[in-house]
Amino acid sequence: MFETQIIHTEHKDVIHDVAYDYYGQRMATCSSDQYVKVWDQNEQGVWSVSSSWKSHSGSVWRLSWAHPEFGQVLATSSFDRTVSVWEETVGEKTNPAMPPLKRWVRRTNLVDSRTSVTDVKFAPKSQGLMLAACSADGVIRIYEAPDIMNLSQWTLSHEISVKIPLSCLTWNPSMFRLHPPMIAAGSDDSSQSTGGKVFIFEYSENARRWAKTETINSITEPVHDIAFAPNVGRSYHILAVASKDVQIFNLKPILDPTANSRLEIQAAAQFGDHYCTVWRVTWNITGTMLASTGDDGCVRMWKMNYLKNWRCAAVLKAENSESAPETSVTASLKSSIVNATAKYYKRGTISHPGQEYVLRVQRGPYPENSWRILRRYNDFASLNKCLQISGIDLSFPGKKLIGNMRPDFIAERLNALQEYINQVLMNPILASSLPTKKFIDPDSYSTPFHDLALQYASMSLRTDGVYTLGQSLGPIGWRLRKHYFKVVHKPQGNKHSPGHSTTKHHLIKSSSQSHGKQHTTQVCVTTSTEKDYNSSTRDHSGRDDLILSWTEFGPDRYIDEKEIHTVLKNFGGVQHPYIVPIEHIASNDSGALVIRKFYKQGSLKDVLCSASPCNPFLSKYGSPKGRTPLPLKDLALYARQILEAIRFLHSKGMACGHVHCGNVIVVDGIAKLMDVENFIFGVPSFYRPFFVQHSKINTCEAIDVYGFGHLLYEMCMGYPLQDSYARQISDCPDSLKSLLESILSKDACKSSLPTLDQLTTHPFFGEYAGHFNELYATTIAVQKPHLKFSTNAKEQLKLAVQKTENRVREEQRSVKNQKRLVRVQEMMTSEEEKKKIKQKAKHEQKQAKLRAQNSLQLNNGPPGMGSSGITATVHLSSSTGGIVKSDSANSITSPQEALMSPPPHATDSGGSTSPQPPPSAPPIPGPPSSLPLFSSSEPDPAAPGSSGTGKMLAKSISGDEPSGGGKRSALLQSICNFNKSGLKKVGPTEAGK
């Protein structure tokens, strides 16, 4: 029987890895707080920390224990691009009553990687003391200790290049005298164009090098973990892969030396029971049972039966206590499974299996881009708690402790949660927030963006040596991959202002966007006056407050990596009266940082919403307390100034692409454009979902004009336009209305937008900002605009503009084709529905007509027929199914009509027969308006033909139009008494006469 235990750790951040030693009596954990902790288990099974130390200057991703034959040795890999090897040393025993003092010592620090080292593994004992490490630069490095007694000396024996970022690796623990050494590596690269994500490498004794043997092309999703099974008597290898689900592969060696492949790869099993991302897989010591963990918080055990079918043998789920901190680790005793990293969530249409909810999610119009995930009510409650800061009223179902397992309550809650998630995803502000993104798509948003930005920024500033990183400003912007920090100038030497003691600014992190709660490191900003950083407006040297923004490069970054540093350096010297100057700009392979002056009043959007710039984005713009439009003169002046800034950029061969109120600062009556470097970074535009719907907005100038129109609309109305075009513009002067319609009307978006030069000559600016030209001439005489690019930089910018426009056109064609497909589907659905409705109405009309005819025949039958005869006829009719074909070539008769026709003779009680007289004509019903009286679907309580029925029918059809009844009765009687023997067959010649 399995047991679970909650271990409350003292880690200050997310725990990334847990590893047991060879005997399972010791455990090590590593975290983003840069610490490694070693845990020991006593005789009562209680785990306690025996050692804790800061191991790296960045997040620690993985750790690995060496075989105990080599001592108590640990290896750790980190974001700081290094691998460290640690050995436990035992001091002298000074107190007989106390155990000897133990501590871990760093024996070596391997610094060959250029990027983050994502995994590290010691080789099996048969290989000696070796370890392999993979990194995000796509290289596997294998190190060897020549002398196991001297762990400070390690040699880099092999480098294996894969050329795509690697996330995990594993050694094949099989005996190497039977099989060559083997390593498998996986990649978490999200690009679908890179092919397979799992690679197999073998070591050749003859060539003395590692070579790639196979690539598992069937795995195209990001791989988070990979593990070879120990080989005990098998003739093939088993490999487990953790991706969006669990997959098991059999690798059978091919003995034919002339074959092109070394291994025959067969998919043995694939499990989607986690309903979410799988983070870790590990085998037992015999390689017969696999354990996996995922975002569902469960450890699932898999075992192969005698039919070689893999089945789930057990599911372990630790019950988290409410008092347990969020950074606690759930450890499964006597098992080497890892419950790794934080838990992230997804979105979609909800169904309810058992006590949990399955969310089926689809991104975009294509069904293949879909997934599903398992979530509980508490997960929805956590999301709702994170979104409450927006102030938006959401209908979230309350918690119920008693009776929450009743089927009716489950169905009611299911509908309520579906309505709730629909409300969240229909709101653009809530849908773009990080909590919602994590809830709906953890595969894409499980990366600790804020932590990465913090470390990249700190390393860049450390190299520069001019600025010191201060507090994080938290999620104040709408971009998830853009993060803001305060920075200050470093003191020059030991000099400082009189009356002030030396101020030390250390690296600090708070309000982390990448986790559900806020984290702080153990160091903080301390001053002699103990004033908070936010309370000061200037530092000790009298300089203005500065703000640093770190932005990851986006999908539209088309400038070459070798040239982007030169382009940014040239752009850093931009000078224009209506563009916010840049204090410092720098970049690396992942993104770039920009330092500017911090303006306390915030952006123009903050001014319109009466919000503080340092508040979170959700609370500022989710439900603002008040929106204030600008006066017309200020609106015209600010708009004209922004136009000149955009025109200046285009005159230098560079587009902006990011014109909106959040990128405009108003200082002393002057509007200035900022974040214009976003075009170089290649990040998506704020209004991209809007202008991709209009195929005519396909140039960089048209995109900037379109963004300027939205900016103008928000300044005029006080609130943003929530659609791709304005359906109706009112409450503004005619000249402003004309300007807005020339950009945002449906006709303008379908035809063409005005150019930047045409906008400057619009009558609105002449009416409300007529003095602008003189003011602008005076301004540029004092501050001459300046932006100079090198020749190569100009070519790179020109190429980037072309590729950006081509990508926009391709996306617009895709959207147009999808809209056309949707319209066709709607038309087809509409036609099918109309056809079904028409057929249904025709069928109901026919049924009503048949019921009316049957009712007439019941009342027009011969008076000598008793109830017993009618009952027998109806009984026979019910037993004779289908349609009876008439002898006439031009008609068919229903069974009821045929059987209810009066027989030619009736038998009396004495057995003789006599002809029956024709029946008298009863009253006949009038127009068909009375037919619905006979179309009720409810069963008649009286038997057909009974007196009760006859009375009811007679009452229902009596006295409408007696004048036409005789003709219709005679017609029916003639049909009933029709003599078919008088018919004769005629040829086609006679028929045509």
Closest alpha carbon to 2 in 316, 313, 425, 274: 316
The first and second tokens of residue 968, run together, are: 């219709």
State the alpha helices, DSSP H only, in 678-771: 678-681, 688-691, 700-717, 734-744, 746-750, 756-760, 763-768
Comparing 393-407, 547-561, 723-737, 784-798, the range with the smallest average pLDDT is: 393-407
More confident residue, 356 or 985: 356
What distance in Å separates the CA atoms of residue 31 and residue 60, rounded to the nearest whole number?
5
Q: What is the mean pLDDT of residues 609-627?
A: 86
Closest alpha carbon to 334 in 17, 41, 75: 41
Comparing 758-762, 779-783, 790-794, 892-896, the range with the smallest average pLDDT is: 892-896
Write b or e for each residue in 395-407: b if 16 or more Cβ atoms lie within 10 A of its Cβ, otherwise e.
ebbeeeeeeeeee
For residue 44, give every residue at least 6 positions away whose Cβ sits within 8 Å of its Cβ, in sequence order, or none: none
For residue 768, count CB atoms less than 10 angstroms from its CB and return exposed for 0-12, middle for 13-18, buried for 19 or more: buried
Model confidence at 743: pLDDT above 90: yes
Model confidence at 974: pLDDT above 80: no
The first and second tokens of residue 643, run together, are: 């136009």
Q: What is the mean pLDDT of residues 587-613?
A: 90
Mean of the per-residue pLDDT values of the chain: 77
More confident residue, 662 or 963: 662
* 3-class DSSP string for 344-373: CCCCCEEECCCCCEEEEEECCCCCCCEEEE
Reduce the DSSP state of residue 202 to 3 states and report it: strand
Residue 31 contacts residue 13 (beta carbons within 8 Å): yes
Q: What is the DSSP string of 408-448?
A: HHHHHHHHHHHHHHHHHHHSHHHHTSHHHHHHH-HHHH-S-
DSSP-assigned letter for residue 579: B
Model confidence at 171: pLDDT above 90: yes
Residue 339 contacts residue 18 (beta carbons within 8 Å): yes
Model confidence at 637: pLDDT above 90: yes
Q: Which H or E element spans position 817?
A: helix 791-860
The CA distances from residue 141 to 152, 154, 198, 983, in Å, are: 17, 12, 17, 102
Given the DSSP bridges, would you call strands 546-552 and 198-204 parallel, antiparallel or unpaired?
Answer: unpaired
What per-residue confidence (pLDDT) applies to 341? 27
Reduce the DSSP state of residue 4 to 3 states and report it: strand
Residue 48 contacts residue 72 (beta carbons within 8 Å): no
Q: What is the mean pLDDT of residues 716-733?
A: 88
Sign of CA dihedral 485, 486, 492, 494: negative
Other beta carbons within 10 angstroms of residue 655's beta carbon come to: 21
Residue 196 contacts residue 214 (beta carbons within 8 Å): no
Residue 293 contacts residue 278 (beta carbons within 8 Å): yes
Split at pLDDT 50, 70, 90, the class of 900 is very low
Model confidence at 966: pLDDT above 80: no
For residue 602, give every residue at least 6 positions away whose Cβ sits within 8 Å of its Cβ, in sequence order, or none: 611, 612, 613
Q: What is the mean pLDDT of residues 867-875?
A: 32
Angle CA 785–789–795, to nearest 5? 135
What per-residue confidence (pLDDT) applies to 234? 83
Closest alpha carbon to 596 in 675, 506, 657: 675
Q: Which H or E element spans position 810?
A: helix 791-860
Reduce the DSSP state of residue 214 to 3 states and report it: strand
How does pLDDT run across 449-483, given as a tens digit for each residue? 888 888 888 888 877 778 888 888 988 988 888 99
Reduce the DSSP state of residue 538 to 3 states and report it: strand
What distance in Å separates the CA atoms of residue 554 and residue 812, rounded to the nearest whole number?
19
What per-residue confidence (pLDDT) applies to 912? 39
What distance in Å separates the CA atoms of residue 899 and residue 530, rounded to the nearest whole number?
106
pTM: 0.54
What per-residue confidence (pLDDT) applies to 286? 85
Where are any strands of DSSP class E within 172-277? 182-186, 198-204, 209-216, 225-228, 237-242, 246-253, 263-271
Model confidence at 738: pLDDT above 90: yes
What per-residue confidence (pLDDT) applies to 239? 94
**Sole residue written with tokens 């099918």:** 832
The first and second tokens of residue 237, run together, are: 């290898």
Order of strands, sheet of 349-351, starting from the edge strand that comes earlier in the sequence: 349-351, 357-362, 370-375
Given the DSSP bridges, would you call strands 664-667 and 884-885 parallel, antiparallel or unpaired?
Answer: unpaired
What per-residue confidence (pLDDT) applies to 41? 87
Q: What is the mean pLDDT of residues 852-872?
A: 48
Sign of CA dihedral 292, 298, 299, 302: negative
Q: What is the mean pLDDT of residues 639-663?
A: 93
Comparing 190-194, 277-281, 548-552, 876-880, the range with the smallest average pLDDT is: 876-880
How does pLDDT run across 119-167, given as a tens digit for each residue? 999 999 888 899 999 999 899 999 999 888 889 899 999 999 988 899 9
Residue 697 contacts residue 749 (beta carbons within 8 Å): yes
What distance in Å separates the CA atoms of residue 224 and residue 403, rounded to the nearest whole number?
40
What per-residue confidence (pLDDT) applies to 980? 54
The first and second tokens of residue 961, run together, are: 């139009």
What distance in Å separates the CA atoms of residue 77 and residue 646, rounded to the nearest whole number?
46
What distance in Å separates the CA atoms of residue 222 and residue 226, rounded to the nearest whole number?
11
Domains delineated in the chain: 4-332 (2.130.10.10), 349-444 (3.30.1520.10)
Reading phi first (left if > 0) and then psi (alpha if -120 to 50, else beta), residue 24 is in left
Sign of CA dihedral 674, 677, 679, 681: negative
| Side chain identity at residue 144, one-letter code | E
What distance in Å separates the CA atoms of residue 27 and residue 228, rounded to the nearest whole number?
21
Model confidence at 920: pLDDT above 60: no
Model confidence at 10: pLDDT above 70: yes
What distance in Å separates the CA atoms of residue 789 and residue 563, rounded to the nearest whole number?
11
The CA distances from residue 21 to 63, 75, 365, 887, in Å, are: 11, 12, 48, 94
Split at pLDDT 50, 70, 90, the class of 524 is very low
| Side chain identity at residue 703, one-letter code | I
More confident residue, 419 or 885: 419
The CA distances from residue 749 to 208, 697, 705, 739, in Å, are: 65, 7, 11, 13
Q: How far apart are the first and last CA of the chain?
A: 98
What per-residue confidence (pLDDT) applies to 365? 59
Q: What is the mean pLDDT of residues 794-807?
A: 92
For residue 444, give every residue at least 6 positions away whose Cβ sits within 8 Å of its Cβ, in sequence order, or none: 190, 437
What per-residue confidence (pLDDT) applies to 7? 80
What per-residue confidence (pLDDT) applies to 444? 80
More confident residue, 319 or 246: 246
Given the DSSP bridges, would you call strands 482-489 and 73-78 parallel, antiparallel or unpaired?
Answer: unpaired
How does pLDDT run across 265-319, given as a tens digit for each residue? 989 998 887 878 898 999 988 888 999 998 877 889 999 887 788 888 888 876 5
What per-residue confidence (pLDDT) applies to 739? 94
* 3-class DSSP string for 268-279: EEEECCCCCCEE
Q: What is the mean pLDDT of residues 190-198?
A: 74
Write b or e for each residue in 731-740: b if 16 or more Cβ atoms lie within 10 A of its Cβ, otherwise e.
ebeebbbebb
The percentage of residues in the chain with a pLDDT greater than 70, rounded to a whole number, is 74
The first and second tokens of residue 504, run together, are: 């030390």
To the nearest 10 degrees (0 to 180), the angle between helices 791-860 and 700-717 is 70
Split at pLDDT 50, 70, 90, the class of 878 is very low
Give rounded-to-5 percent helix, strand, coil for the chain.
Answer: 30, 25, 45
What per-residue confidence (pLDDT) applies to 167? 92
DSSP-assigned letter for residue 261: -
What per-residue confidence (pLDDT) applies to 921? 39
Closest alpha carbon to 76 in 96, 93, 98, 54: 54
What per-residue confidence (pLDDT) applies to 352? 45
